[in-house]
Amino acid sequence: MIRVNDLSVSYGAVKALRNVSLEASPGLVTAVLGANGAGKTTLLRTISGLVNPVGGDIHLGDTSLLRMPTEEICRLGLAHVPEGRGVIEELTVEDNLRLGALASKVDIAEGLEAQYAQFPALGDRRKKYCATLSGGERQMLAMARALIAQPRVLLLDEPSLGLAPQVTSDLMKLILRLCESKNLTVILVEQNAKGALRIAHNAVVLHLGAVVASGDAQTVAADEDLRRYYLGLVE
């Protein structure tokens, strides 16, 4: 389980997170929702050790992640798929996947086969340069590159960004299937509240760096005020 307690982050004068608390559990998708600038990316980057908080703490199980180097956090079983995917266009699909396995103890050949079994479209394109992939395939590659290290926790930053509605819908179902089948703790950051709430078990809504609502996803999705004022979901 990931437990974030009273977390605050500042970039100089900008308070990006204000006393944020949340919990995310194995086998569940926890959606973190909110408009541009709400602090969603900062939250994930702070959990990953890429940004230092000014207050609060973060635990993975019983272990505090505060002041722990990112590579050590990765070795504890946390994987982060960044906004924009971060795949390397000049490398093939297979070489991108190899990078994901480098810091882990997994057998690379076995890891590659496991990912090709899970994402057959990547297996078909294993020798293709990443620059030739569609947006949906790149997102799959970014997720496979994270999963090859067999993490316990998967942080996903805006996976649906730039994808067509049908591709987004398929991707969300895939995220849910991976989460449940592997008992992964998934924290899913999305501006696409509608798509995320369809698969999430729990949801946290951020506004200007603070939590304005949290609870089970169905309750959040049914709240008219949240839909209107924070999620942009009023039809």
Question: Would you say 16 or 81 has its CB closer to ligand ATP?
Answer: 16
Task: Verify binding: residue 40, ligand ATP, rule CB under 6 A.
Answer: yes
Residue type, 206: L
Site residues for ligand ATP, 178-207, by CB under 6 A, read 191
Nearest-angstrom CA–CA distance, 83 and 37? 13
User: How many chain residues bind ligand ATP (CB under 6 A)?
Assistant: 12
Task: Verify binding: residue 14, ligand ATP, rule CB under 6 A.
Answer: yes
133-164 residues labelled b (16+ CB within 10 A) or e (exposed): bebbbbbbbbbbbbbbbbbbbbbbbbbbeebe
Q: Which residues contact 160 (CB under 8 A, 6 or more apart)?
A: 168, 171, 172, 190, 192, 195, 196
Given a contact cutoff of 8 angstroms between Cβ atoms, the answer to whether 146 and 159 are in contact is: no
Nearest-angstrom CA–CA distance, 24 and 199? 15
Stretch that binds ligand ATP, among 36-44, 85-93, 110-118, 197-205 (CB under 6 A): 36-44
Task: Verify binding: residue 36, ligand ATP, rule CB under 6 A.
Answer: yes
Nearest-angstrom CA–CA distance, 96 and 229? 40
Binder among 2, 4, 16, 220 for ligand ATP (CB under 6 A): 16
Stretch that binds ligand ATP, among 23-31, 39-47, 90-98, 211-219 (CB under 6 A): 39-47
Task: Verify binding: residue 42, ligand ATP, rule CB under 6 A.
Answer: yes
* Distance of closest approach, residue 64 Cβ to ligand ATP, in angstroms: 22
Q: By the criterion CB under 6 A, which residues form the site for ligand ATP?
A: 11, 14, 16, 34, 36-42, 191
